[in-house]
Amino acid sequence: MGPVLAEDLRYLLRCYRSAGVWSRIHVVVRRILCPFDAVMEVIPACGKHLDVGCGSGILLALLRGRSAKQELCGVDASAEKIEQAHLARIEGARFGKGIGEVRGELFESVSLVDVLYLLEEVEQDRIVEMCSSALRQGGLLVVKEVERSTGWRHCVATAQEILAVRVLRITMGSEVAFIETGRFADLLRNNGFDSISTRRVDRGYLHRHVLFTARKRRDEDR
């Protein structure tokens, strides 16, 4: 375990000290298994940031630990997850149930971290469209997902998510459908994004993590 990860875990355990034992265990496991460093690296260190499908708020907690300049907001469909996020007492962060909580607001950046694989394609399109509506012109969308693949890594990832979604009910959703990189890039273009970048961020990780970044087109570019 590297010094950055160890410090993150100590920091998160302090943040979530009021949460239950299982919530704290989930936070630790989630930080270890997900490349949050790669996600935070591309999110601007200032301005308004929205995390869609924020869960218990781990990404926003880590962002606050990095910078006090961001205005942080998280939304999630699960009232239980939002309650856990409030328990974390992340300074200056707002949380709400559903993206309707921020309707009418505009953000410099929006993130989706391991959200879309739980949704059918039509729902993925709807979520991306809503993220576009929440962004200022030229704003940055950051998406981290697990890439569809074959072989043992795919089998392990699928088994883990089926356990989380259907057995332990840690994550909301009914299906597990990992992202096809080419199709998702097309989805971004069709929803008003350009400057689309895709890169693997799975070095040292069990799963095939992939990171997308894209800019909302300005009116003059449409």
**Is 6 domain-assigned?**
no
Q: How confident is the model at residue 207 (pLDDT cuts 50, 70, 90)?
A: confident
Across 67-80, average pLDDT: 92
pTM of the predicted model as reported, rounded to 2 decimal places = 0.86
Give the model's confidence band at 213: pLDDT under 50 very low, under 70 low, under 90 confident, else very high: very high
List the single range of 44-58, 116-130, 132-146, 173-187 with lowest mean pLDDT: 173-187
Q: Is residue 19 part of a domain?
A: no
Whether the predicted pLDDT of 174 surpasses 60: no
Asked if the structure places residue 28 within a domain, the reply is no
Structural domain of residue 180, as residue ranges? 35-221
Q: Please write the tens of the pLDDT for every residue from 101-120.
A: 888 899 999 999 999 888 88
Map the chain to HEC letters.
CCHHHHHHHHHHHHHCCCCCHHHHHHHHHHHHHCCHHHHHHHCCCCEEEEEECCCCCHHHHHHHHHCCCEEEEEEECCHHHHHHHHHCCCCCCEEEECHHHHCCCCEEEEEEECCHHHCCHHHHHHHHHHHHHHEEEEEEEEEEEEECCCCHHHHHHHHHHHHHHHHCCCCCCCCCCCECHHHHHHHHHHCCEEEEEEEECCCCCCCCEEEEEEEECCHHHC
Average pLDDT value for residue range 156-180: 51
CATH number at residue 168: 3.40.50.150
What pLDDT is stored for residue 129 in this prediction? 94
